[in-house]
Structure formats: structure tokens, C-alpha cells
Structure 1
Amino acid sequence: MKMKKITSQAAIGCFALMVASGCAKLNEKTYGSKYIDDNPTGSAAQLNGVYSQLYGQTDQANTYALQEHPTDEMMGPTRGTDWGDFGTWRKLHTHTWTPIHNQVNDTWDQLNIGVFRATQVVNKATDNNIKAQASFLRAYFMFQIVDLYGQQPFRDPDAPTSSIPTVMKRPEATDFMIKDLEFAEANLATTTANIGIANKAAAQALLAKIYLNKAVYKATTVGGPFTFDKADMDKVIEYADKVTAAGYTLEPAGKYFQDFAWDNSEKSHGNIFGFYNTETNAPASAKNRWRMGLHYNQTPDGWNGFTTLADFYNSFEATDERRGVDYPGLTDRVGLRAGFAVGQQYGPGHKALTQRSGKPLVFTPDVNLNFSTEAQGIRVFKYFPQPKADNTVNDDNSSNDYVLLRYADVVLEKAEAILRGGTPTGGQTALQLVNQIRVPRGASALTSVDLTVMLAERGRELYWEGWRRNDLIRFEKFNDPVDQRPNKTDKSKTVYPIPQRAIDTNPNLKQNAGY
């Protein structure tokens, strides 16, 4: 896998710098293959442009990579001459990135352009529902920026083009996001046609997440220690209860992967917000999520890249459905199992697959970040394509909806908020809520739960969904040693550096400590 296969929507040229950093000129209209209208009407068409900017979240690089590779559940090993990519993946896992790291730079551009586009619609919209959707999307982009970088540059599109963006620190930006989402909640529709259109529950789910992380964003010292205010935890519980009241539920026993399968649009009970895809139109396809781990000889073929860590895989009980199962219509056709893939791999007709050398294709728990063979490392297939009747797969237009906000996450957030001092509601305890997640998956019921157990359970439920870094930081575990990173890292790594090119063009930006 080479970096040329990455489909990131990183900004090019000076336009990215103007939006994110403050170049004096703002009349460029080209952004990749997208068109930027600097005279927006606040129409539905302009809103669609904001949604399309969000599609970059499905890339295996940039936001997703920054949130997953530095954690205890993902790494991108170099395999001979493949996946070297100038160390971009290794540096993320080992916490050795710098202010000129390509994905640190590209993610900054991508997210800040999303904020700018959303603000254009917010400023011009006369329809409150359109304005509310744009406010929600702006809050989502800002949430990722605040979480990853700790600072939020902000340019009013109506300001003179020569103006330099102001910069909000984490506390100010957090309050800004909350106000955006409160407006969104008040004005969004209760239900929408699909998960690709923000509704009230989407705003409530994101509000719960922001309040849960408020202690991180308002801490005086980056990386902690954190003090969780009871009032904030009560807000988490309030918004979680609102999402529950909207009718979202957990998947029944044996149906965990239903939230991610090719027919999740029709069958999911818990997907709140994400990207709506069909077989004829998949603008935000989930295919990167399986291709980044599939071996070349599997069906469909893949890029033979990312793996999980053995310790993370071993944190699952053998009976836990989330660890891996044969999935009807998938395993019986092409041999691929849902979840974690370890051991001998199979293809159509249950044929044992081989490596390119002819050796058996056996995925092994052992993996080396710098020097791995093509079969080393446990792979993960949380999303998977729909095989055809002839046992082939064309995944260019896969119908899996891609999920950003999910009800199981909200349930665990409520449980965590109770553990952190929030007042329980509905007669529920943190233990009951965690077991509500675990037991249908075939995991044993717990008899007690503390913060250590809570972090582990969030990992087991939400792996590969882009939340692990956020969780580890909140639990003050992000800098702990993991496989292929043997030493504890400095707390300054809990935020990424501001790209140097952004600092060079915006004097209001100051580099984060430690860089």
C-alpha cells in the first residue's frame, strides 16, 4: 500500500492556508475536485457542500488515523517495502510526529475548511432547519479540531478578506460548540429520512460527548489531571436519556455487526448519524475500513495494511460476538468473518488461502511495526462488503452506511458519567448499563464496574470507530506504553502540533507546548 492510494480530501494550495491560517487573499474557488462558493445563499445546495466535506472522515488517513494509530488498538506495520510511506504510520503509533507531519497538516486543513464552509451556511441561511444542520456540522468539525489540536482558528466569511482569523482556546471553543448544538437541537427535525441528515438525536449525542470531555478541554494542564464536574456529568445523562427517548436501541443478541453490514440502513436500531450509502450511490463508502486490512489474496482483495495489537485482541472473552463470528451471506460465500481475523484465512468454497509466496495465509498475533511479513498481524473487519451470488465482490459502491454516532456509545457515556459522579436516572446504575451492552454479545455479566473496566469495555464495543484516542486521553491512559511503543510518552502528545505553515501565516496561533 502506497500513500498514493489514500483518498484524503486534504486541501491544496493557498486556499487551505487562507481558511485555516489567514492568508490575505480569499478569492480562490478550487479545492481538490470541490467548488467553493464565496457568496453562499444558505441554500440546501450549499449545505450539501458542507456534508460532502465531512466525507473525508471515511478515509483511512487523516482524522481517522490521528484518532486510532496512536492508541492501543491499531498500528500500521511496514511490510518490506510496502506501507513505509516515509514513516507516516509508524510516527503516529510511536508518538513521534512533528509539526510537519503530512497527516497532521492535511487533517488540520480538511477540518478547518469544514468549519469555514459550515459558517458560510450558518451566516446566510434563512431556513432554521438548514441553519441548524450547518450548526451541527460546524460543531462536529470543531469538536475534532479542539480534540486533536486544542485550538480553533475562526474566520467570519463576512469579514474583510484581509482579516486574520481569531483563535479560540479549548474552553472558549467548547462553549461555542455547545451553543451551536443547543441551537441545532432546538431546530432540527425529530426524525430524518436516513442517518446522513442530522436530526435532534445527533445533536444530543454530540452534546453528551462534548460534556463528557469538557474536563479535558477546560483543564489547566494538557493531558490532565482532570476534574469532572457533576453538573457536566448530569448533562451527559440528560442528553443520553433524550437519545433513548427518541427510540434508539441496542442490537439484539447475535446482531452486533448489524450496525455495520451492507443492509444497516434498514436493519440497524442504533445508528444515529453518519453517511448514507446505496449500491448505486456511495459518496462516503466504508470500503477503506476493510481494504486497509485485507490481504491481496482475499475476496475482495485489499491493501494488506493495518492490524490490531495482540493485547487488545486478548481483552475479549472467547464467547464475545464482537471478537469475531461467521456472518451469513459473507463467510459462507467468500470465507471472510466479521470482526477480528487471526489464524488460517479462507476464500470462496472454504478454500484455504496462501500468501504470494505460496505459504499458508495465517494471520499471526505477533507483528513488528518496522519489519513485518505480509501475514503478520491480526486484521479487523468491522465493516464488510456484500458478496454477489457468484461469490465475487464489487465494493466500489458498497451500501453500508458509515456510522459516526451510535447508540451503544451513548449508553456507555451515560454509564461513565454515573461513575464520575452524575446522578443516575431511570433506576439505572453504571453496572446495569455496561451489562446491557455486554450480555447480548455473549460476554459474561460483570459483578462490578470501575473506570478501568469502563475504559476496557468502551474499547471492546467501539473498536475501529475512531474514538479510542479520545477515550484514552479522558481516562489518562493515552501515554502509557503499548506494544511497539515500550516507553511512556509525554502528556504534550495528547494534542497534536499546530502545522508550522499555519503558524507562519496566522500570528494568532501559538504552537502547543512540547513542539
Structure 2
Amino acid sequence: MKNLKINLLSLSSFLLLLLTISCTDELNTKPEGAEQTADEVFSDPDSYKNFLAKLYAGLATTGQQGPAGAGDVAGIDEGFSSYLRNYWNFQELTTDEAIIAWNDATIKDFHWHSWTTSDGFIKATFYRLAYQITNCNEFLRQSTDEKLDSRGITGAVRDEIIVYRAEARFLRALSYWHIIDLFGGASLTTEDSPTQYYLPPYASRQDLFDFVEQELTEMESDLKDPNTNEQFRVDKAAAWMLKAKLFLNAQVYIGEDRNADAFTYVNKVINETSYSLHNNYRQLFMADNNSNGAQNEFIFAVAFDGLHTKTYGGTTYLTHAAVGGSMTASDFGINGGWAGLRTTSAFVNKFNGMDNDYRKQFYTNGQSLEINDVGSFTDGYAISKWKNVDSFGNQGSDSSGDFVDTDYPVFRLADAYLMYAECYLRNGGGDASTAVGYINDLRERAYGNTSGNITTSDLNLDFILDERARELHWEGHRRTDLIRFGKFSGSSYLWPWKGNVANGSPIPTYRRLFPIPQDAIIVNPNLIQNPGY
């Protein structure tokens, strides 16, 4: 099993206790049927790392037993409640990079841009983000200086818990960034919020932006230095990367140009760490990407393990759902494909004239380039990027082929290189020769030689947007990128079935945000619905 071991079964009663007591006035009141109070649980120093493991696992798993049966989010199939699965769907199915064949509830509405305030997937995502934030808040509430003093926790153990707190703050900031990006505004709750039932006030996109920026600034000194933490735990570089992402999109989020700030932090990621590009692009998305050298490019990745983190979300979803038609499931280390995900001709065409680009991974046998029937998997080229086989062709650890070992890179160095070039073009800093050098580092890996290299005259924002698609496709970046480059809404860029029209149709600008679920507004009338809904 991978580092930062997660035993969800042993954590089940522990977390139920904490979530129960977080809704009471007195945190040390022993709930009926519970064996321990929070103070009794947290008197054990090991409990802090166990809870931290759950916070990381919240990005991957969907419940307390896995893969299904005790889900965290009620009202939806547990597999559909996965943090990364839903985030990926929001970021990819709404774009030119991915389309889905299934008829599961309203899933096709994402590509058609016809979702409503009652959409079950939107509700599940909104509640999943809230659940993750609630868990982070509870950990921070239980690990204050006052609490540690009362429990007699001192010395090196206490110093390590301070690091854990910074990591929990990062994970909370990550979820708030996802809210900023997907929903704009929402409630803002922290460890200082009341623990009894109350209706949090609405926080605007600006409010959340300011909070995330402040959090990332304050926590940085308590995080471990780059490249010194355990694998799959964050360090200062992850905070720098998240800050750079926040600032790069600030014009969209809050109407301010923060590209100079984005450049400052992306430059730190590149020059004040020892992360390095892996020499084989395709191995970045294989079952041993925690050990084949890919891990040296991953600034932050979510761990998946076919034996110990069983889920129908994450990379299990990305691997299984992308296999169908005449594809051989065993080539992907799985026991069968789900025949759902493939791509559009608009994305395929970004590789025109680039036959030697190793990032080009289309399965075309029996697949048509154009999509006449959205519900037919063989309409549209398949993408063979995610695999549950290792660098030597061996299947992942789950012999059944049901669940996948491949880790999911949230941030990797290649993205930082592309962000440097974009910051330069947006007058945020840097220089042309360095920007071109970073782009060519990526293209030399992709081509295996210098035949795909560019010059300064090739470097412009349209090129960067297309290069981001070629390098980062199916990694959960595309919707945010298209919005930042002004290509998501309107008619400046059309792709097949955008707006539920075969050749693409303009969509209104309000679709750049998802609606606050109507159910959430009914529960908390302080929430403010986004314009257009």
C-alpha cells in the first residue's frame, strides 16, 4: 500500500463520533452509544494523523467502507458522489475534451450546457465540497493550542501536529478554490464557526478569494519545505501552486489582474524546488506513477490503490469509463470497459500535423471522428491516456481488475511551465527565451527530439491554450482554461455538441458558473443564486 496509509474501516466510528459532536454545543459531551468523547480520542497523538489521512482520502474515496455502502453524501449513487469524479466531470464534460455516452440522470446536460438548479450531480458536488470543508474545520477545531495544552501534547509530536494543521488548511483552501471556480460564492465556515446548528451567511466570490489568499499566506511557514514531506502530502510548493492558480484566474474571479503575483509563485515552484519532468509522458498516467519517476513531476497527487482505496470515482472511473467498442480491457489493466468517455473532433484536430507527438493517444479502430449520436460510444475517438498497468505492462494490484492503482496528479511541474509562459504573455513577468525553453522542454519529451520545438514567433495566447490541451487533457483543467482565455461561452470557439447542437452553438455567459443547488438555498436562504438561474 502507498504512503499515508488510510484504513477507512478503523476510522468509521471515529469520524461518526466527530461529526456527531460537531453538531452539539459541548464538544466533550458523550453522545449516546459513543464509546469515547473527542478529548478521549484526541488524547492519542496517533489520532491526528489518522484524521489527516481521512482529509486526504476525502478527495479519493466516497464513504466509510468502500467502494460503496456507507456513502458520505446522501441522495445520490455513491459512485457519483466522488470528489474527483465530479470535479473532473465539471471541468471536462462541459468542454471540447470529453463527452459521455451514458444516460445516467442528467449527465449529458454537462456537455449540452443545459443543467438546472435541481441537477443531482451539481447538488452532490456542492455537498461534497461542504463535507470536505466540514471535516477540515473539525480537525482544526480539535488541534488548537488550547486543545493540545489540555491534552498534554508537547514536544516533537506537537510540532508535527502544527504541520498537520497547515496541511488541513491547505486542503480546505483547495476546496474553497473549487467553490470559487465552480460556484462563485457560497457559505464560508471555519473552525471558529458555531458548532451548533446555524445558517452561515453568504460569502461572495471576492470574500472567498480573499480568504483563500490569506489562508495560503498564513499557513505557508508551517508547511514542510518542498520535496521533504511524505509522498501524497502537501508542502510549500503545493501552496505556491494553488496561489498561482488563484492569481492567474483573478481577472475572471474578481476582475483584477494578478498575473504578476501568479508569476511570482509559479516561478518559486519552478526554481525553489527539485521537481523535474519525467522522461516518459505516458508513464505519468500508469499504475506505478508513484514510483516510476513520474512522482518527481507531481507537486501534489491524490493516491489511489486498487486494494485499499476502492472507489468507483477517481482514476477507476477515468480508466474504466474510457474503454469500450473494440478496445481490449486487459490492455488497460481492467476487467471490462464502461463505454462512456471519449473526445470530440475539435480536440483531435489540435494534433493535426503532429503525428509524432507522444501525447496523442487516440483509439480510432471502429470509432468515428465525428459524433452523430452522443449516446454511442463508438461515435468519437476514444482516449487511452489513463491505464491500470505499470511501466512494464503488469496489471495493478487488484487482481480482479475492478479498481485502479493509478494516482491522480492535481498539480504537476509541466503545468507550472505552461503557466510561466502564460504569465509572460499576460505581462506578469519573465522573458520570452525562458518561456520558449519551458515549452520546448515539454515538446521534446512529447516528440523524443527537437522536431516539435517552437520559436518566440510561435508563442502567443492561442498557442498556449492549445498546448495546455495537448499536455494536460483529461486532467481536470479545461473548463477553467477556456473561461480564462475567453473561449468557453459565446461563439468565439465552438465544438461538437456545445449547447446541444451537432456543430456547436453559442452558450450564454452565465454558464461560466454552475448554480447553487436549489435544495441548498431552501435549507439556507442566506445563499444567493448565481445570475441566469
| TM-score band, normalised by shorter chain | 0.7 to 0.9
Match of residue 289 from structure 1: 318
* Distance in 2 of aligned mates of 1:151 and 1:396: 38
What's the CA shift for 1:367? 1.9
Please name the residue that 2:223 is paired with: 188
Contact 1:431/1:446 (<8 A) preserved:
yes
The reply on whether 1:462 has 2:472 as its aligned counterpart is yes
Contact (CA 8 Å) 1:306, 1:379: kept in 2 or not? yes
What do the CA deviations read for 1:214-245 (whole angstroms, capped 9, x no partner)? 111103xxxxxxxx62xx22222221222222
Quote the offset at 1:377 in angstroms. 2.0
CA displacement at 1:279 relative to structure 2: 5.9
**Distance apart, 1:277 and its partner CA:** 3.8
2:380 and 2:374 map into 1 onto residues whose CA distance is 12
Query: Which residue of structure 2 aligns with residue 341 of structure 1?
Result: 363
SS in 1 for 2:300: strand
1:390 shift after superposition: 10
Secondary structure of the residue aligned to 1:43 is helix
The alpha carbon displacement at 1:62 in A equals 1.8
Change (3 A) 1:473 1:90: same
Identify the residue that residue 209 of structure 2 maps to in structure 1.
174
Query: Which aligned pairs between 1:393-404 and structure 2 lie closer than 5 A?
Result: 394=399, 395-404=401-410
**CA displacement at 1:55 relative to structure 2:** 1.4
| Structure 2 residue identity aligned to 1:446 | I
TM-score by length of 2: 0.75
What one-letter code is carried by the residue in structure 2 that aligns with 1:214? A
Task: Please name the residue that 2:234 is paired with.
Answer: 198
Residue type at the aligned position of 2:460: D
- Name the structure 1 match of 2:248: 212
Deviation at 1:132, TM superposition (A): 0.3
* Pick aligned residue for 2:299 from 248, 269, 272: 272
Q: Show the counterpart of 1:513.
A: 531
> What secondary structure sits across from 2:410 in the alignment?
strand
2:171 aligned to which of 137, 141, 144: 137
Partner of 1:441: 446
1:368 maps to a residue whose letter is N
How far, CA to CA, are the matches of 1:38 and 1:503 in structure 2? 31
Q: TM-score, normalised by structure 1?
A: 0.78
Q: Deviations over 1:106-163 (max 9, x none)?
A: 0000011111211222233243201100010001111111100001312345515232
1:481 aligns with 2:490: no
Aligned to 2:382: 379
Structure 2, unmatched stretches of 5+, are 1-18, 28-36, 62-80, 146-160, 499-503
| Number of aligned positions between the proteins | 435
Q: Is the Cα contact below 8 Å between 1:61 and 1:103 reproduced in 2?
A: no
Structure 1 residues 72-125: Cα deviation after superposition (integer angstroms, max 9, x where no partner):
111113xxxxx2123x22210011000011111000000111112112222332
Paired residues of 2:55 and 2:168 also in contact (CA < 8 A): yes
Residue equivalent to 2:266: 240
- Aligned: 1:321 with 2:321: no
Specify every segment of 5 or more residues in structure 1 that has no aligned partner in the other structure, as ranges: 1-18, 28-36, 78-82, 220-227, 325-339, 344-361
> Deviation of residue 376 (structure 1)?
2.5
| Residues 472 and 195 of structure 1: CA distance in aligned 2, closer, same or farther (over 3 Å) | farther
Q: How do 1:27-426 and structure 2 match up within 5 A?
A: 41=42, 43-55=48-60, 61-77=85-101, 83-86=102-105, 88-125=106-143, 126=145, 127-156=161-190, 158-190=193-225, 191-192=227-228, 194-219=230-255, 229=257, 232-244=258-270, 245-252=272-279, 255-266=280-291, 267-268=293-294, 269-278=296-305, 280-282=307-309, 286-295=315-324, 298-299=329-330, 300=334, 301-316=336-351, 317-324=354-361, 340-343=362-365, 362-372=366-376, 374-386=377-389, 394=399, 395-424=401-430
Aligned counterparts of 2:180 and 2:82: Cα–Cα separation in 1: 19
Question: Aligned equivalents of 2:419 and 2:232: distance in 1?
Answer: 23
* 8 Å contact from structure 1 (residues 90, 369) kept in 2: no
Q: Encode CA deviations 1:389-439: one digit per residue, 9 max, x unaligned.
A: 9987733453322211111111111111111111216x8443333222223
User: Does structure 2 retain, via aligned residues, the 8 Å contact 1:192–1:198?
Assistant: no
Q: Does the 8 Å CA contact 2:85/2:317 hold for their aligned counterparts? A: no
Which residue is equivalent to 2:66? Answer: none
> What amino acid is the match of 2:283?
Q
Partner SS, residue 55 of structure 1: coil
* Cα distance in structure 2, aligned partners of 1:43 and 1:24: 21
Determine the C-alpha separation between the residues in 1 that align with 2:132 and 2:95: 26
Change (3 A) 1:310 1:193: same
Deviates more, 1:445-454 or 1:157-166: 157-166
- Aligned partners of 2:282, 2:395: CA distance in 1, in Å? 21
Moved more, 188-197 or 44-53: 188-197
Q: Judge which range, 94-103 or 438-447, deviates more.
A: 438-447
Q: Distance in 2 between matches of 1:184 and 1:383?
A: 34
Deviation at 1:199, TM superposition (A): 1.2
Change in Cα spacing, 1:25 to 1:483, as seen in structure 2 (3 Å) is farther
Structure-2 change in CA distance of 1:139 and 1:292 (3 Å):
same
Checking the alignment, whether the CA contact within 8 Å between 1:197 and 1:273 is kept in structure 2 is yes
Partner letter of residue 267 of structure 2? D
Contact 2:99/2:341 (<8 A) preserved = yes
Q: Aligned pair in 2 of structure 1 residues 144, 505: CA closer, same or farther (>3 Å)?
A: same
Once residues 389 and 407 of structure 1 are traced to their aligned partners in structure 2, the CA distance between those partners, rounded to angstroms, is 24
Call closer, same or farther: CA 1:46–1:298 in 2, change over 3 Å.
closer
CA displacement, residues 169-206 of structure 1 (integer Å, 9 cap, x when unaligned): 11111111112222332111123454421111111111
Confirm or deny: 8 A CA contact 2:200 2:526 kept in the other structure: yes
RMSD between aligned residues: 3.0
SS of the aligned residue for 2:527 comes to coil
Q: Verify the 8 A CA contact 1:234 1:417 in the aligned structure 2.
A: yes
My pick for the range that moved more, 148-157 or 504-513, is: 148-157
User: Secondary structure of 2:129's partner?
Assistant: helix
Change (3 A) 1:24 1:148: farther
Shift of 1:47: 1.9
